[in-house]
Amino acid sequence: MNTVDRRHFLKWLGAASALGAMGLPSLAFPKSGARVIVVGGGFGGVTCAKYLKRFDSSLSVTLVSATNKFTTCPFSNAVIGGMKNMDFITHGYDKLSSVHGVKVVNDTVTTVDSSAKKIKTAGGKSMGYDRLVLSPGIDFKWDAIGGYSEAASQQMPHSWHGGPQTVLLRKQLEAMPNGGLVVIAPPGNPFRCPPGPYERASLIAHYLKNNKPRSKILILDAKDKFSKQPLFQDAWADLYPDLIEWVPGSQGGKLDRVDVKRMTVYAGGDKHKASVVNIIPPQKAASIAFKAGLTNEKGWCPVNQKTFESKIKSGIHVIGDASIAGKMPKSGYAASSQGKVCAAEIVAALRGESVGASSWVNTCYSLVAPEYGISVAAVYRLTDKGIMPVEGAGGVGDREAPMMQRKMEAIYAEGWYKSITSDMFG
Amino acid sequence: MKQKLLRISVVVTSVFFIWVANVSLAADYRPAMLANPCAGCHGTDGASPGSIPSIKGLSSSHLVSVMKAFKSGERKGTVMNRIARGYTDEEIELMAKHFSSAK
């Protein structure tokens, strides 16, 4: 190569590199500019909206949330137990719009028209989409327990949505007499946050032990076993002997009915008059999933296990508690993990690319006392049987673990909360 | 003329390789898909705002050795032994690279 040739070559190479740096990647990373609407301002929806923008900033992403702030269920038991206040579990969407460019609309979706690809809201808005993500959470089967209703939840709170119901249960515990009875009635599977009722019993026990020690907690369970059971029961025997009694479904735990006026619960032929009654009713996907025609006969949404696109209607993805996601539990961490996978699948589909294999994680801490934490964890993969935990990994903590580990897990429980909420709202 | 042809072929080849490199980068969602769920505990891109250790920007070899030690049980953690067993060594290396180069 002579000098001229070399100079030419370098020029060519420069042009080629410039193409490589700017021109060609637009083919390799096509910006779709498509419109994605995400419905639901909780763990699944917020994470999905934020990660859609992280993966492709050219997308037009709108998050529709019924409230302008989100109160988490995680750590609401710490509010009920008097360890945290409501501010700790309440988060705003400001950064989602100001930092990440997600358009946040405070409204309730009333209609989903999957053929016209449009939604309508209670506030009278009509919005078109290329892809729709629903992360609507759960509703209750109000008529499943005789004598119970939505109105009855003002006397016998469910406190299974973070917010006013959390405050109501806390106030009732503060007002109850020393020596009173607290009834907690968890539902059968599947339901949101499987270890939640037992963490709640633990943290209420912690409050009662220190403030109203002659009181008792009776857990009237629809089930015969529950999440992290050995770890919870070991801790109860250790920390709250004679304070918590758990009655399994087959031994009188199943509710027959409740009498709200008399604050009385009937179960297994017995009658329990209580100071505080926490009924956690059986659940189903939130109403918008039914209105959109996305639910099966059991009241949950079947989805493609890779993309979370509805098996019933195309162009609509369902994530979080409302969806049937293989063996993943209905938890905030699971919903957030699904939100990221769903976001990547949508971006890839709009670009004509393939995500390849995905993995999901769920790590769930429960507090048994302020300095006593326990956990269950799993890594999930897509298999021919749907989303399954990786064998040989995950599981609950060691029953024989030293107290130092319990203490560390209590510290990490709060660390987890800070991380996941900043991953969503930060 | 011969030289010119050679030059063009060199240029075409370089453009082709740069293009292929970018396509494979675009198609490779895998490291991010493996690493994104970790943010639930370790914070976005591994930058933890609370009590759980940050892993963002740590050296790849350090992350690999810690994860492998959790996986084998050589190092005792709280949940990390249970989590690390869910990944192959190759996946651990991909995740480590992802967190070490996170911006």
Check residue B10 and give its pLDDT: 59
CB pairs under 8 A between A and B: 154
Check residue B28 and give its pLDDT: 85
Hey, of A95, A398, A419, which one would you mutate to test binding to chain B, going by the most B CBs within 10 A of its CB? A419
8 Å CB contact of A416 and B40: yes
Q: What angle do CA A90, A94, A96 make, to 5 degrees?
A: 105
* Nearest CB neighbour to A423, from listed B3, B30, B40: B40
Check residue A381 and give its pLDDT: 97
pTM, two decimals, is: 0.89
Q: Where are the beta strands (DSSP E) in A295-394?
A: 301-302, 316-318, 323-324, 359-369, 372-383, 386-389
* Nearest CB neighbour to A25, from listed B15, B22, B50: B22
Distance from CA of A215 to the nearest CA of B (A): 34
Check residue A33 and give its pLDDT: 83
- Which residues of chain B lie closer than 8 angstroms to A415, CB-CB? 41, 48, 50-52
CB contact, 8 Å: A23 with chain B?
Answer: no
> A269 to each of A254, A255, A260, A272, how far by Cα in Å?
10, 9, 17, 10
Closest to A332 in 3D by CA, of A27, A38, A4, A40: A40
CB contact, 8 Å: B42 with chain A?
Answer: yes
* Nearest CB neighbour to A405, from listed B34, B50, B78: B78
How close are the terminal C-alpha atoms of chain A, in Å?
A: 56
- Minimum CA–CA partner of A47 in chain B: B40
CB contact, 8 Å: B83 with chain A?
Answer: yes
Hey, of A54, A374, A379, A421, which one would you mutate to test binding to chain B, going by the most B CBs within 10 A of its CB? A379
**pLDDT digits 0-9 by tens, A62-97:** 999 999 999 999 999 999 999 999 999 999 999 999
How many CA within 13 A on the CB side of residue A235? 30
Closest to B81 in 3D by CA, of A366, A363, A414, A234: A363
- Which residues of chain B lie closer than 8 angstroms to A397, CB-CB? 78-79
- Coil, strand or helix at A35: strand
Beta carbons within 8 Å of A144's beta carbon, 6+ residues apart: A187, A281, A282
8 Å CB contact of B37 and A340: yes
Check residue A21 and give its pLDDT: 40
The tokens for A243 are 């304070």
Give this complex's ipTM.
Answer: 0.89
Hey, of A50, A416, A421, which one would you mutate to test binding to chain B, going by the most B CBs within 10 A of its CB? A416
- Which residues of chain B lie closer than 8 angstroms to A24, CB-CB? 18-19, 22
8 Å CB contact of B52 and A336: no
Beta carbons within 8 Å of A389's beta carbon, 6+ residues apart: A327, A378, A379, A380
What angle do the packed helices A332-351 and A403-425 form, to 10 degrees?
40
Which residues of chain A fall short of a pLDDT of 70?
1-32
8 Å CB contact of A1 and B3: yes
Q: Is the separation of the CB atoms in A375 and A366 below 8 Å?
A: yes
Distance between CA atoms of residues A113 and B90, nearest Å: 44
Check residue B5 and give its pLDDT: 62
8 Å CB contact of B79 and A377: yes
- Coil, strand or helix at A139: strand
8 Å CB contact of B49 and A418: yes
Residue A164: DSSP 8-state: H
By CB atoms closer than 10 A (0-12, 13-18, 19+), residue A411 is middle
Hey, of A231, A359, A360, A362, which one would you mutate to test binding to chain B, going by the most B CBs within 10 A of its CB? A359
> A325 to each of A198, A236, A293, A338, how far by Cα in Å?
23, 32, 18, 9
The overall longest dimension of chain B from CA atoms, in Å, is 69
Check residue B4 and give its pLDDT: 65
